[in-house]
Amino acid sequence: MEYLECNLLNRERCKIKRRGFTLIEILIVIAISVIILSISIPSMGELLFVFQLNSSLNQTVFELVKARDLAIQNYNGNEYISVYIDNNSIELINGNSINGTSIENIPLSYGVSITATPNFFYFSDITGNCSAQSNIKLTAVNKATDLISLNTLGAINVTYNYAQ
């Protein structure tokens, strides 16, 4: 801080406390902020893809567990609850045929595709056993992949960051 002295003879010089930032200081802070922001934006984009993939993975596992539980509970008096998986959605179906009554169709997050081998299977009542062993692969736009394995006993195993 710089102080100017004041005297009675020279009224122009009074005790003034200078404060504030200069224009150059403000411009330097803005420039540094822009540089830091430009470095962090690409990594935030990748983080968005990871969140979308995790969200779709959690939704898929939830729907598989739900289908198995509905079959065990003998939903609407039906012995089977089927699961049909296409490119971007999961459909739960009443019965053991693709022509059964749809319970719900759940779309996945934008930018995530899903493939399953086989893409149609069903859970049976009482035991919750699955009609077929299935591998369900979720792939994000940035090619990150997670894998869900379903065995004939209805057990669900998740592999994160699955290497192809």
Could you give the 3-state DSSP secondary structure of residue 162? coil
Mean pLDDT of all residues belonging to the chain = 84
149 is in which domain, residue-wise? Answer: 50-159
Q: Which residue has the tokens 């289908």?
A: 67
- For residue 77, tell me if it sits in a domain: yes
Could you give the 3-state DSSP secondary structure of residue 119? coil
Task: Report the CATH number at residue 109.
Answer: 3.55.40.10
- For residue 28, tell me if it sits in a domain: no
For the chain, how many structural domains are there in total? 1
- For residue 30, tell me if it sits in a domain: no
- For residue 17, tell me if it sits in a domain: no
Residue 1 has what pLDDT?
A: 44
Helix, strand, coil proportions of the chain in percent (round to 5)? Answer: 30, 30, 35
- pLDDT single digits (tens) 96-152: 888 888 899 999 888 899 999 999 999 988 888 999 999 999 998 888 899 999 999
- pLDDT single digits (tens) 4-17: 455 555 555 555 56
Report the b/e string of 75-91 with b at 16+ CB within 10 A: beebebbbbbbeeeebb
The C-alpha atoms of residue 156 and residue 96 are separated, in whole angstroms, by 20
